[in-house]
Amino acid sequence: MHSLTTLVASLPSESFEPASEIVRSGVLLVAPLLVGLPLLSAAVLLLSGRRSDRWGHWLGVLASTASFVVAAIVFVAMLQRSADARVIDVSLGTWIDAGAFQLDAGMRLDPLSLTFVLLVTFVGTLIHVYAVAYMEHDADRRRFFAYLNLFVAAMLVLVLADSYLLLFVGWEGVGLASYLLIGFWNHHYDYAVAAKKAFVANRIGDLGLIIALGLMFATFGAVDFGTVLSGVEGSASQGTLTAIGLMLLLAACGKSAQFPLQSWLGDAMAGPTPVSALIHAATMVTAGVYLIVRSAPLFDAAPTAQLVVVIVGAITLLFGAIVGCAKDDIKKALAASTMSQIGYMILAAGLGPVGYAFAIFHLITHGFFKAGMFLGAGSVMHGMDDQVDMRRFGGLARYMTITWLTFMAGWLAIIGVPPFSGFFSKDKIIEAAFVPVDGSPWRAWVFGGITLLGAGITAFYMSRLFFMTFEGERRWSTKRDGTAQHPHESPRLMTWPMIVLAIGSIGLGFFLNLGGRFVDWLAPVLGHPEHEEPVLPIWVITVLTLGLVIVGVVIAWRRYAISQVPVIPPVGTELTRAARVDLYQDSVNDVLLVEPGQALTRSLVYADRTAIDGTVTGVGLSTVVLGGWARRLQTGYVRSYAASMLLGLVVLVVAVLVIQN
């Protein structure tokens, strides 16, 4: 069993910021193609219009695949370099040159960004392939692929940026793509509202990022990673760093659906399922984790901000897990689970050097098993006439074997059964959470306990989801047109991506954990964590985790696999009812934000009508009156023109003479 004790403390980890190298030649210069290819494809698809309907989706797949190939080339080139030469800047020229503020646009190629690039392009390509079949009957399939390509390009800009400002460009880009894709079927009013909700929640987060940018510029005079992260130890005060850290956290909360900005993610499931898999499970929603891990030196220097990060992660972890237990919509249950799993990652990122690498580790394995399960859910919906209510599933294992098996791989991975992927990554986070900070054990007990409890609940609700869908007796309804359901396996274009992701769900964690190779790989960016002893022995933690997982699975098995599942949801306890409505998050938002906001808007509109419009109309009217006078002067007679010139001249001369004397 690999654990913290096997890690070697080779480098001091406090505020570790590597020196970067600027590359001007060689194979790494192909990196801009990573972004360029999908962007170009998106542009072609959007501009060419209906005439590319027949082949547009294949162009989208090709662009994503090509981007992955480029990523693989860069990865191989990177592996050939020595570990300490793996942080590379590829300059793209001067971007902004405004007085004191000069910023070069460039790409930061390092193990961290490359990890994301590989995840995004690989999983992205699989989901592109899946979507070719999934969206086959949609008239706007070309537009869908254009947005998907746009998303891939923006996500790559986000992770490859070498400054917070360029990261912000990608950040907004993925937000835009997400908005367009959630509202892809915007002729449904509810879906359009969902898109808007995601948009607004993200805007609040973006505000945090903008304020953070401003604070960075005011403090360090720059917004590029190099200057900001290496300048942390010198100039900035503790208060400023904490403020920057909290603002970055706010940004992360918006993008990664963390408490208190989490409410949009469930509604975002209105988008087509491939979108949920790619954007709202595997990649975009993890951007917040990336942001925090990327800013590691900054958070290391701001312990208060770190503590808030951990608290937010812990709350979201439980929040998502509880909500996940009550949801009957398969996609919404998966969304709640995504929220909860990202809570784990955020928590790990807030733990400091002991957690960074594991946050990313869990992010990667989660990217595989969660995307796989979303594709599985899509496959179920495909076979069940777009039914999403799990109370209307049951016993599907016989009818869609591949979906069942691949989903099972994802299920075992997420609940952390060895040797599936999730076991290795989640177990590490739980161990790290049990490490005392600053010698005070209370944090270790509180957060360690929460992660442990979360693992148990996760096992329960994911098993519930799995059993309600694939096991037990059939509870199928009729199709929308009234005929009987005929569940069937999905076409190969859909099953193959699921199989590939299932392989990742099974073996990736073990593979990456072997000899601590993933931590070593990230070491040039994040440093090697120093060895720290958890408050409990590691074997005790692992046993406790597995024990809770087994309890969770058994309870779910008894309630949802071997006993009758009611088709009409029972009234349930107070907690269940609350969890069904996202623990009243929408109501809280309504009372706290929406209603005061609307009242403010109404009063502003009133003020605008009376005061501002009045003024503007007044100015407009008086301008027109003035213009009328001016026009009357423009008589068309040369004599009056000459007279006005002369008059003007005389006035000017008199003025000069008067002033001079």
Partner 1 sequence: MTDFVAPDVDWAALSPVVIVLIAAVLGVLVEAFVPVRARRTVQLSLALAALFGAIIAVAALWSGVEDTGGTVVLGGSLLVDGPTLVLQGTIALLALLALLIIADRTETGEDAFAPNAAAVPGSEYEELARRKGVRQTEVYPLVLFATGGMLIFPATGDLLTLFVALEVLSLPLYLLTGMARRRRLLSQEASMKYFLLGAFSSALLLFGIALVYGYSGSLRYSEIAEATQVPGGLDSLLLVGSVLILSGLLFKVGAVPFHTWTPDVYQGAPTPITGFMAACTKAAAFGALLRIVYTMLPGLAWDLGVVLWTVAILTMVVGTVAALVQTDMKRVLGYSSIAHAGFILTGIIALNQAGITAVLFYLLVYGAATIGAFGIVWLVRERSGEGPGAVLGEATHLSQWAGLGRTHPLLALTFALFLLSFAGIPLTAGFAGKFSVFSAAVEGGAWPLALIGVLASAAAVFFYVRIIVLMFFTEPAGTDEEATGTAVAAPSGDGFAAIGDTAVVVEARSTVTTTVVGTEGFAVVAIAVCAILTVVLGVFPSPVLELIDGVAAFLP
CB closer to partner 1, 540 vs 656:
656
Among 1, 562, 593, 642, which residue interacts with partner 1 (rule: CB under 8 A)?
A: 642
Contact between 100 and partner 1 by CB under 8 A: the answer reads no
* Smallest distance, partner 1 to C-beta of residue 31, A: 24
DSSP reduced 3-state for 91: strand
Cis, peptide link before residue 38, omega less than 30° from 0: no
CB closer to partner 1, 603 vs 644:
644
In this structure, are strands 21-23 and 88-98 parallel, antiparallel, or unpaired?
parallel
Distance CA 418, CA 406 (A): 16
* The two structure tokens encoding residue 594: 């929406």
* Longest CA–CA separation in the chain, Å: 107
Contact between 645 and partner 1 by CB under 8 A: the answer reads yes
* Smallest distance, partner 1 to C-beta of residue 635, A: 9
Cβ density class 430-459: b for 16+ within 10 Å, e for less:
bbbbbbbbeeeeebbeebbebbbebbbbbb
Among 22, 567, 611, 653, which residue interacts with partner 1 (rule: CB under 8 A)?
A: 653
CB closer to partner 1, 584 vs 641:
641
* Smallest distance, partner 1 to C-beta of residue 360, A: 38
- DSSP secondary structure, 207-273, as one string: HHHHHHHHHHHHHHS--BHHHHHHSTTTT--HHHHHHHHHHHHHHHHHHHT-TTSTTHHHHGGGS-H
CB closer to partner 1, 419 vs 618:
618
**Considering only 40-48, 84-92, 508-516, 634-642, which stretch makes contact with partner 1 by CB under 8 A?**
634-642
Distance CA 178, CA 310 (A): 26
* The two structure tokens encoding residue 427: 């177990």
* Smallest distance, partner 1 to C-beta of residue 589, A: 35
**Considering only 148-156, 206-214, 511-519, 652-660, which stretch makes contact with partner 1 by CB under 8 A?**
652-660
Among 97, 438, 481, 574, which residue interacts with partner 1 (rule: CB under 8 A)?
A: 97
* Smallest distance, partner 1 to C-beta of residue 92, A: 15
- DSSP secondary structure, 137-188, as one string: T-TTHHHHHHHHHHHHHHHHHHHHBSBHHHHHHHHHHHHHHHHHHHGGGTTS
Among 47, 484, 571, 657, which residue interacts with partner 1 (rule: CB under 8 A)?
A: 657
Among 79, 540, 604, 647, which residue interacts with partner 1 (rule: CB under 8 A)?
A: 647
**Considering only 60-68, 124-132, 516-524, 645-653, which stretch makes contact with partner 1 by CB under 8 A?**
645-653
Question: How many other C-beta atoms lie within 10 A of the C-beta of residue 616?
Answer: 11
Q: Interior CA angle at 301 toward 296 and 305, to 5°?
A: 80
* Smallest distance, partner 1 to C-beta of residue 95, A: 12
* Smallest distance, partner 1 to C-beta of residue 155, A: 26
In angstroms, the Cα distances linking 83 to 57, 77, 254, 520 are: 39, 12, 34, 9
Distance CA 40, CA 215 (A): 34
Contact between 96 and partner 1 by CB under 8 A: the answer reads no
* Smallest distance, partner 1 to C-beta of residue 187, A: 24
CB closer to partner 1, 19 vs 657:
657
* Smallest distance, partner 1 to C-beta of residue 105, A: 14
Binding mask 599-628 for partner 1 (x = CB under 8 A): ------------------------xx-xxx
Backbone angles phi and psi of 478, in degrees to 5: -85, 165
| Cα dihedral sign, 176-181-185-190 | negative
Distance CA 14, CA 530 (A): 9
**Considering only 382-390, 521-529, 552-560, 643-651, which stretch makes contact with partner 1 by CB under 8 A?**
643-651
**Considering only 242-250, 534-542, 598-606, 635-643, which stretch makes contact with partner 1 by CB under 8 A?**
635-643
Among 22, 575, 600, 655, which residue interacts with partner 1 (rule: CB under 8 A)?
A: 655
CB closer to partner 1, 10 vs 615:
615
CB closer to partner 1, 581 vs 655:
655
CB closer to partner 1, 514 vs 645:
645
Q: Is 171 left (phi over 0), alpha (psi -120 to 50) or beta?
A: alpha
Distance CA 458, CA 320 (A): 9
Q: Which residues contact 315 (CB under 8 A, 6 or more apart)?
A: 259, 343
Distance CA 155, CA 123 (A): 13
Question: How many other C-beta atoms lie within 10 A of the C-beta of residue 294?
Answer: 27
* Smallest distance, partner 1 to C-beta of residue 614, A: 17
Q: Decide: residue 412, CB within 10 A, 0-12 exposed, 13-18 middle, 19+ buried.
A: buried
Binding mask 524-543 for partner 1 (x = CB under 8 A): --------------------
CB closer to partner 1, 10 vs 644:
644
Of 505, 273, 304, residue with least CA distance to 406: 505
Contact between 419 and partner 1 by CB under 8 A: the answer reads no
**Considering only 11-19, 359-367, 509-517, 653-661, which stretch makes contact with partner 1 by CB under 8 A?**
653-661
* Smallest distance, partner 1 to C-beta of residue 642, A: 5
Q: What is the DSSP letter of 331?
A: H
* Smallest distance, partner 1 to C-beta of residue 631, A: 6
Total binding residues for partner 1 by CB under 8 A?
26
Distance CA 509, CA 409 (A): 12
CB closer to partner 1, 571 vs 658:
658
* Smallest distance, partner 1 to C-beta of residue 652, A: 5
Of 174, 144, 157, residue with least CA distance to 59: 144
* Smallest distance, partner 1 to C-beta of residue 70, A: 28
Q: What is the DSSP letter of 610?
A: I
CB closer to partner 1, 419 vs 648:
648
Find out whether 320 and 262 touch, Cβ atoms under 8 Å: yes
* Smallest distance, partner 1 to C-beta of residue 463, A: 55
CB closer to partner 1, 47 vs 630:
630
Binding mask 503-522 for partner 1 (x = CB under 8 A): --------------------
Contact residues: partner 1, CB under 8 A: 97, 623-624, 626-628, 630-631, 633-634, 636, 638, 641-642, 644-645, 647-649, 652-653, 655-657, 659-660
